[in-house]
Each structure stands twice: as C-alpha cells, then as structure tokens.
Amino acid sequence: MEWETVIGLEVHAQLSTNSKIFSGSSIAYGAEPNTQANLVDLGMPGVLPVLNKKAVEMAIRLGLAIDAQIAPKSIFARKNYFYPDLPKGYQISQYELPVVANGHLDIELEDGGAKRIGITRAHLEEDAGKSLHEDFHGKTGIDLNRAGTPLLEIVSEPDMRSAKEAVAYLKKLHVLVRYLGVCDGNMQEGSFRCDANVSVRRPGQPFGTRAEIKNLNSFKFIERAINYEVGRQIDLLESGGKVVQETRLYDPDRDETRSMRGKEDANDYRYFPDPDLLPVAITAEDIAAVRATLPELPHVRMQRFMDAFGLSHYDAELLTQNREVAGYFEAVASGCNDAKLAANWVIGEVSKALADNGLEIAASPVSSDALVELLKRIQDNTLSNKIARDVFAAMWDGEGSADEVIGRKGLKQITDTSAIEAVIDEIIANNPKQVEEYRSGKDKLFGFFVGQAMKASKGKANPAALNDILKKKLEG
C-alpha cells in the first residue's frame, strides 16, 4: 500500500532594512561581535522597543504579492523561553493577528501542471543572537549582533506532497522576496532559512504525526532532508512503530535527521500580548501606498516575456529570476530590437562572465547600452558571433566600447566578396590534394576549407558569404 507525504514549510526571511526591528542598531552582516548590539537588543531593564516602519511595509509588500489579507490591526506577542542568545527571556513575535494571513503561491509541477500552495500567515518577529560553542574554556560565547534583526516568518499550509514540490515552492518564494526587495535571499548567511514539517499518511486518512526538521540552508539539503525523513517515518510505521512529534536537526555530512532531545518542555512558550507594544494599525491608505510601489511580479513578467518577445518558457523563466537581470534584458531587447538575440547574450555571455567573476548584474562592466551597441554590430554584419564574443571580453576588461574595440583591433568582419574570394583562391591553390579529394566526393573536407579560410582571414570573414563562395569555387 502506498504512503502519501505531507509537507508544510516555515520560511524565515530576514528583511532588508537598515536597522533592527525594535531598535536603531545596524543589521549589517559580518560586523565584529557585539558591536551592533545595544541597550534594547541586550534586553537591559527600562528600555522599550519601537517598531521599524520599513519592516511593517515589507510585510505588507509580501502580503500583497501573495494575494493575502493585510490585518487592519495587528498585535505583537511575547514567546517565552530561556536561552543565552535571547537576552530578554522572550522573543517578540506575533501570535494572534499577524500582519499577513491567507495568501497563496502557485508552483509549477514537473508534469507542466500548476498547483496552488496556501500560505497560512506571515508574521513579523525579531531574530535571536548567535551562540558559539567552540572552546572558550568550557563556556559558550554569545554574539548579539543578530538579536533584534527583523524577520518575516512565512508559514505555508501542509499542501505539498513531495520534496520536489517543497523545493519548487521555496524557489518560487525565494525569487519573489528578492524581486520585492524585502530580503536578499542569501542562504549561506542565513537570510532565507527554512524549517520543514513532514509527515506521512495513507491516502485519504487524516494527517499523520509530524516531525519538524530544522537547519535547512540550501535547496539541495532541503530535498535530501525531506526524502530522508519520509523514508525514516515509513520504515518506522511499517515496522509497527510510531512517529513522535519532535524537532529534528538535519546533518548534511551524514545525510540524516537526528532528534534534538531536551526540547520537550521548551515548547510551552506561554505566548501573551507584549505590553510594551501597542497594536499596529494598518489603514487602507497605507496598503494602497505600498501597492503603488509593487514591481511587476516575476510570474507576470515571465508570461509577458513569452507573449511579447516570443521567448521560450525556459528562457523567460531564467530571465525573470532576478529583477535587475530582467530589467537589463528588457533594455537590451528594446535597444537592439531583437529579443531572441538579447536573450541569448544575457543568458549566455553576460551571465557566464558575471558568474565567473562573482558579480551581480548591477556591477556588470558592460552596461545594457554598451551591449546594445555590440549587438548592433552583429546585426549590421560588422561582426560574426564569434568575433563579437571576443569584443565582449575586451569590453568586459574595460578596453572601451564595442566600436572602439573593433576599430583598434581591426576586427571588422570582411563582407567584401572580392576579398573573401582572394583568400579562398589562395587556399585552393595551396591545397590541390584536398581539393581533388573533395571533388571526388569527400564532402567532409568542406570543414577543412572553412577552417583554413577563417584562419587566413583571422576569423573576420563573414561566415555566410564564406560558405557560399567556397562552395561555388570548390565545385569549380
């Protein structure tokens, strides 16, 4: 008999604000320990939290993008537990009345179909500090720079039925938060973290007991951890055992999940409304103001690229993973008036050069305008595609504009047929044996002649003209 997997995901997205959610400390990554932890963050007596306006706007932004309800009145609660990297003894979070409720995200399935994943809620909360368990003479070191960093916890419905669906949902959400500019999505630095609630059941039966897997910081690990956990639960149930509701930690080195013991009573968080914070009022005008600044959403833009530019689903999806890349592509496509050529270059040379140099497109040494100038030289036959790639590399290295590089290096494509004929005549004269073999039916040698001619013209001969002339001449 078959088992059905049931997955719900909780994503913690670190909001891209300048300051903390309840204090004026910086949240810049990588600062010296405890240099961004001040009185409010340290939980000193007598201090009061003051909510960051930008964090609320970002929560609304995400809420609107997932078609959710924005609460006109939202409240903060204290989640109580003791841990040294939580100085106050409670985390300020939201329990009743989160900012965002009842949204959804549509994912694409492998068979090409679509599936709607419900998003129960998204609430604002503060992050905790970091505990360093390396050896400090048997003690634990605490860095509170991260304490008070604004997080948006995005909680899905248990709507996913496989690890692949879970990853599809996460990737979609990952693209969306970056697109909206609410989170940088950096998984290595922990800006986008995921916990997975996993259970199995017989189809049609009520939900099984779930385990919560923590410490999932890459799409690959998320897929593996879920698959491992599903296998573990099925083995357990089929051998007559029971799944225990617990928190499990994924260990990527061993590719397994392990129980985190000793957290049983810690799960009694005794939430209550935080008396230090008044209810947050969000008016229709506030929502309208945020809505007015929403960008075209990635799935809408992808569809437009397919409809307006005739791009394939694959190309359109690649070009809309990132708002800056999509903007760059659109500028190039409208500049050179050939969307397919623009797509090939942005997905090809530009993306490759960016990846090789670890750069974001905003830092590309070749601007969209500069690329348009280069592509125009392909369109007017000044350059072959091959030479254009060399020119691009030179432009990338700061050697000037396309026309400057072409002029300086003498790379202008030879389209003058008499010049090409002269080159070919010489090759035919110098290779009588190959010419004879070709004429007696060895067609494969055509490539040899093309190669020789290209070499002789230093790659500058127009390939189409070269092929035509060569064919005629060889046939005598």
- The least distance separating another protein from the CB of residue 24, rounded to whole angstroms, comes to 3
- The least distance separating another protein from the CB of residue 349, rounded to whole angstroms, comes to 38
- The least distance separating another protein from the CB of residue 187, rounded to whole angstroms, comes to 24
Q: Counting contacts by CB under 8 A, is residue 51 touching another protein?
A: yes
- The least distance separating another protein from the CB of residue 285, rounded to whole angstroms, comes to 14
Comparing C-alpha atoms, which of 411, 366, 369 is closest to residue 388? 411
Q: Counting contacts by CB under 8 A, is residue 47 touching another protein?
A: no
260 CB contacts (<8 Å, ≥6 apart)? 214, 246, 247, 248, 249
User: In angstroms, what CA-CA distances link 225 with 139, 157, 164, 171, 173?
Assistant: 31, 19, 12, 16, 19
CB 391 within 8 A of CB 406: yes
- The least distance separating another protein from the CB of residue 290, rounded to whole angstroms, comes to 13
Q: Counting contacts by CB under 8 A, is residue 207 touching another protein?
A: no
Q: Counting contacts by CB under 8 A, is residue 471 touching another protein?
A: no
Which residues from 120-139 bind another protein, rule CB under 8 A?
Answer: 131-133, 136, 138-139
Among 270, 340, 408, 458, binds another protein (CB under 8 A): 270
Q: Within 10 Å of residue 443's Cβ, how many Cβ atoms?
A: 7
Closer to another protein by Cβ: residue 198 or 280: 280
The C-alpha atoms of residue 369 and residue 322 are separated, in whole angstroms, by 19
Closer to another protein by Cβ: residue 41 or 330: 41
Give the end-to-end CA distance of the chain in Å, rounded to a whole number.
Answer: 74
Residue 70 tokens read as 């924005």
230 CB contacts (<8 Å, ≥6 apart)? 3, 5, 163, 198, 200
Closer to another protein by Cβ: residue 75 or 306: 75
Strand 90-93: give its sheet, edge to edge.
90-93, 77-80, 272-273
The full DSSP string for 71-116 is PSEE--EEEE---TT-TTSEEEE--SS-SEEEEEEEEE-TTS-EEE
CB 363 within 8 A of CB 402: no
Q: Counting contacts by CB under 8 A, is residue 149 touching another protein?
A: no
- The least distance separating another protein from the CB of residue 95, rounded to whole angstroms, comes to 11
Comparing C-alpha atoms, which of 263, 246, 270 is closest to residue 93? 270
- The least distance separating another protein from the CB of residue 41, rounded to whole angstroms, comes to 8
Among 47, 234, 249, 277, binds another protein (CB under 8 A): 277
- The least distance separating another protein from the CB of residue 263, rounded to whole angstroms, comes to 12
Which residues from 71-90 bind another protein, rule CB under 8 A?
Answer: 73, 75, 80, 82-84
Site for another protein (CB under 8 A): how many residues?
A: 51
Among 9, 13, 56, 383, binds another protein (CB under 8 A): 56
Closer to another protein by Cβ: residue 16 or 199: 16
Which residues from 96-125 bind another protein, rule CB under 8 A?
Answer: 96-97
CB 99 within 8 A of CB 61: no
Compute the chain's Rg from CA coordinates: 30
Q: Counting contacts by CB under 8 A, is residue 19 touching another protein?
A: yes
* Site of interaction with another protein (CB under 8 A): 17-19, 23-26, 32-38, 42, 50-56, 73, 75, 80, 82-84, 96-97, 131-133, 136, 138-144, 265, 268, 270, 273, 275, 277-281
